[in-house]
Amino acid sequence: MSGEQTMTVEEGAPLRFDVREFARTAVGSHRSAIDLEAFAEHPLAPDTVRVLAYLRELERSTMTYLRNVLVTPTHKDARVTAFLTTWAFEKFWIADAFEVIVEAHGYDSSRIQELPRLRALGLELAERATPIVESFRANSIGPDVIGLHLASVTIDEWITEAAYLRLAELDPHPELVKLLETVQTVKARHRLFVEPDAVRRLGESKRARSLSRRALPRTSWPIGAASLQRSETAFFYRTLVDEALAAEVDAHVQRELPGLEALTVVSTARRRALAKGGAANRAARRLGRAASLVRHPRAIAATAAALTSAGPTATAGPADTAGLAGPTDTAGAAGQADTEQKGGAPV
């Protein structure tokens, strides 16, 4: 994302994207171009295989995202729908290419999707309910929600672009680099559509900007991360998206997408991924703090009497009161957990 490889929205802005040509020339399987013998002779580093398995799952998650998006007013825009279906098709085959390499190295990637029982149950319930809920919520909002959806796809494309560039730098295996260059070429066409369309829709609609400012910070980035092991998401950020790169992507979001100048969605997602505990733990802690403010009158009176008898040294200092959450914080925690279960299509 620096030097000659820096992303620019303006590259695709002058000409209207030809969706029909994009669909007609959709790129399918990459298997025939992958030389597995080269990987047998010179295997990838174990960490590279591990992160490649995670990237495969991210690319696969498109169908869940698409299912939630296409029950909203977005599906009524034929141009956007045509793009999204072709976009999902091409991402499926990118995932397939990564799978070939991961399997060739004998890596067991099943643990990536092994979730704690309660979290797995929550995700299963969300997967069933989300399309219905999203349909009601988004259709009540109207077409302004399309700007939010295209903004989320744009940001996700920027994150994965940065990750693939970093992966090629960390492990410059000739065959891997060749595949990643092909993937970047495929994804460059995706950005030619979503970037200018997201900019236009956000620029034209105050409501779309407001929706995006509320929803994007609550999204689990990259799209698809919410349904995967948090340890693998943390590994993704530690390996491919360090603090400086996350800040660089955020700066790009702030510079290119109207109305999002104050957001730091990638840096925030990185901090959450690397923090101890997950969204459920954060929500529980916030709810606990909020509940600690609700006390029985007798308990309050007893505490006040104890403090009075103990003298001024027993009064609470900044360390005792810091971080107490009010109703707004509690609602935010619930919203975060809710958004993480939706596969990155918040409204």
What's the CA gap between 229 and 235, in Å, rounded?
10
Q: Tell me which of 90-94, 154-158, 312-316 is least confident.
A: 312-316
pLDDT band at 148 (very low <50, low <70, confident <90, very high): very high
Tokens at residue 247, please? Answer: 């800040």
Rounded percentage of the chain residues whose pLDDT exceeds 90: 56
Q: pLDDT for 282-341, tens place per residue? A: 544 444 444 444 444 554 455 455 545 545 444 433 333 333 233 333 334 334 434 444
Per-domain residue ranges of the chain: 3-284+327-340
Average per-residue pLDDT for the chain: 78
Q: How far apart are CA 320 and CA 323, in angstroms?
A: 9
Region 250-265: mean pLDDT is 97
> Long-range contacts made by residues 97-101, C-beta under 8 angstroms, separation at least 24?
97/29, 97/30, 97/31, 97/34, 97/179, 97/183, 98/52, 98/53, 98/55, 98/56, 98/59, 99/56, 100/31, 100/34, 100/36, 101/34, 101/36, 101/39, 101/44, 101/49, 101/52, 101/176, 101/179
- CB-CB contact of 98 with 42 (8 Å): no
Fold of 3-284+327-340: Ribonucleotide Reductase, subunit A (1.10.620)
pLDDT tens for 176-205 read 999 999 999 999 999 999 999 999 999 999
Across 25-39, 45-59, 148-162, 294-308, least confident range: 294-308
- Give the Å distances, CA to CA, from 263 to 8, 9, 209, 268, 282: 19, 18, 12, 9, 20
The mean pLDDT of 14-21, rounded to a whole number, is 82
